[in-house]
């Protein structure tokens, strides 16, 4: 058993934890991260994220396993003021409301959080535009993977969707049908070797991306030539590539660039379904760029005295810390339990749902907190760690349970990410805020850049 000490211990290795880590690092405070090698939900990111609120009802429905006939467009808006107002009406206990953030403050924090991550693979979207998704539903995105940036479709444009049978989650025909159902003759399927003839059917885009890189090494130029023919034949303005060939993956930068040079239209990689390559790239980037020491293990418990966390324990290390950032995500990374007792496992903090604590955590049965239909607004998805306005977890009575622990990311209570249109926004903003409040608690000034941004 080894013992270390630090000013700030950051528990977690996803988007929220790394956003916090970067802000802490810039302040010069002594800090370390605690997380296992295995990634969390960040590695599943589809390439599109939201921060300002719900855009409509289509995505929640299409994100469930539904047949095309059951997909009904009810509303879709890109207007950010309207979306933020809808969020405020729908979720009085949303984290933004708990922290007292206005629409403008959400925008400002988002900008700063993305700037501090400094990842060329992610961009903020300032225009109010709609992106097609791998599920074929339109999506008003506030944050996009750089590869997908060009995939927003403008009225009157002709779109070529490139087929890739080897990628099981990618249905070019379905996306084309969906696009044509809203505007006839908008889209066509484009078949181009070697992408159209890669063997197998994998739902893992990283595997298909590797196959493609190998095939293109054997026959460079053939892919671009095949695409060029289709672009000319169909008068294509925008070519949407399956999510396995992007501009932010080192192995594909050149291939993507060559396509942009040769083709007379815009070229974009599509957003993805689950097992997304966009999330995988983001996760790899965050880990490779991290400058803090990492204790590579799961935190299993914490020592708390007089409402102050003194140390975090893994199976082999004890990390004593003056402040702790808790950013352990939900079930994918095992930050929250999937069965009773429904409590945050490291600090034993009670979980909250819609403005109040879950009163019977020992007996709570998660399936009772699920709606009947898969795309329903499941209460279970809104259950999590509630915080005060400085991100300290609340106890059963609504008072901070611990004074020097600051919670961030998907483990927070009060929002259903898909329904509420704040998927990535909450992770990024809470990661930044948790770091700023931890620094304030320690009396350490944030970096000049953080203060002015």
Burial 253-288 (b: 16+ CB within 10 A, else e): eebbeebeeebebbbbbbbbbebbbbbbbbbbbbbe
* Span 240-279, contacts to ligand FAD by CB under 6 A: 274
Binding of ligand FAD by 435 (CB under 6 A): no
Binding of ligand FAD by 122 (CB under 6 A): no
Binding of ligand FAD by 410 (CB under 6 A): yes
**Among 346, 358, 407, 429, contact with ligand FAD (rule: CB under 6 A):** 346
Least separation, in Å, of the C-beta of 418 and ligand FAD?
8
Least separation, in Å, of the C-beta of 171 and ligand FAD?
17
**Among 129, 213, 294, 332, contact with ligand FAD (rule: CB under 6 A):** 332
Measured between alpha carbons, how far is 174 from 166 in angstroms, rounded to an integer? 15
Least separation, in Å, of the C-beta of 410 and ligand FAD?
4
**Among 270, 423, 434, 446, contact with ligand FAD (rule: CB under 6 A):** 423
Task: For ligand FAD, give the closer residue by CB, 40 or 357.
Answer: 40
Binding of ligand FAD by 15 (CB under 6 A): yes
Sort residue 221 into left (φ over 0), alpha (ψ -120 to 50) or beta: left
Measured between alpha carbons, how far is 410 from 336 in angstroms, rounded to an integer? 10
Asked if residue 190 lies in contact with residue 270, where contact means CB atoms within 8 angstroms, the answer is no
Binding of ligand FAD by 227 (CB under 6 A): no
Burial of 320 (0-12, 13-18, 19+ CB in 10 A): middle
Binding of ligand FAD by 427 (CB under 6 A): yes
**Among 12, 53, 132, 165, contact with ligand FAD (rule: CB under 6 A):** 12
Measured between alpha carbons, how far is 405 from 437 in angstroms, rounded to an integer? 9
Binding of ligand FAD by 284 (CB under 6 A): no
Measured between alpha carbons, how far is 386 from 374 in angstroms, rounded to an integer? 25
Least separation, in Å, of the C-beta of 217 and ligand FAD?
31
Residues that bind ligand FAD (CB under 6 A): 11-17, 34-36, 38-42, 44-46, 48-49, 274, 298-299, 327-329, 332-335, 346, 409-410, 417, 423-424, 427
């Amino acid at each position: 058993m080894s013992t270390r000490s630090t000013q700030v211990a950051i528990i977690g290795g996803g988007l929220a934890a790394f956003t916090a880590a970067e802000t802490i690092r810039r302040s010069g405070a002594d800090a370390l991260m605690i997380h296992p090698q295995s990634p969390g939900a960040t590695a599943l990111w589809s390439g599109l994220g939201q921060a300002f609120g719900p855009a409509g009802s289509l995505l929640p429905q299409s994100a469930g396993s539904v047949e095309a006939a059951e997909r009904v467009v009810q509303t879709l808006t890109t207007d950010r003021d309207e979306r933020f107002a809808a969020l405020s009406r729908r979720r009085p206990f949303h984290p933004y409301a708990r922290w007292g953030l206005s629409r403008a403050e959400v925008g400002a924090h988002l900008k700063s959080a993305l700037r501090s991550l400094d990842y060329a693979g992610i961009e903020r979207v300032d225009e109010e535009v709609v992106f097609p998704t791998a599920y074929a539903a339109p999506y008003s995105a506030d944050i996009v993977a750089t590869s997908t940036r060009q995939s927003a479709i403008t009225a009157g444009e002709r779109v070529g969707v490139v087929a890739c049978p080897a990628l099981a989650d990618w249905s070019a025909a379905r996306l084309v049908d969906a696009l044509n159902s809203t505007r006839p003759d908008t889209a066509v399927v484009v078949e181009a070797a070697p992408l159209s003839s890669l063997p197998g059917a994998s739902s893992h885009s990283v595997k298909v991306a590797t196959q493609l890189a190998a095939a293109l090494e054997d026959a460079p130029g053939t892919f671009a030539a095949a695409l060029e023919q289709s672009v000319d034949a169909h008068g294509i303005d925008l070519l949407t590539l399956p999510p396995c060939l992007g501009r932010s993956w080192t192995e594909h930068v050149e291939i993507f660039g060559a396509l942009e040079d040769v083709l007379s239209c815009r070229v974009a990689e599509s957003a993805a379904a689950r097992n997304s390559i966009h999330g995988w790239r983001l996760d790899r980037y965050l880990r490779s760029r991290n400058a803090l020491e990492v204790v590579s293990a799961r935190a299993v418990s914490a020592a708390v005295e007089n409402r102050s966390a003194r140390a975090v324990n893994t199976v082999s290390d004890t990390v004593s810390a003056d402040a702790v950032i808790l950013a352990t995500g939900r079930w994918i990374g095992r930050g929250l339990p999937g069965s009773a007792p429904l409590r945050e496992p490291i600090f034993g903090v009670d979980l909250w749902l819609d403005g109040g604590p879950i009163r019977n955590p020992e007996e709570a049965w998660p399936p009772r907190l699920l709606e009947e239909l898969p795309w329903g607004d499941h209460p279970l998805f809104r259950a999590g760690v509630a915080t005060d306005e400085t991100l300290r977890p609340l106890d059963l009575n609504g008072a901070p349970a611990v004074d020097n622990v600051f919670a961030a990311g998907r483990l927070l209570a009060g929002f259903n990410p898909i329904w509420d249109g704040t998927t990535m926004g909450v992770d990024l903003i809470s990661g930044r805020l948790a770091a700023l409040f931890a620094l304030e608690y320690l009396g350490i000034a944030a970096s000049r850049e953080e203060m002015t941004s």
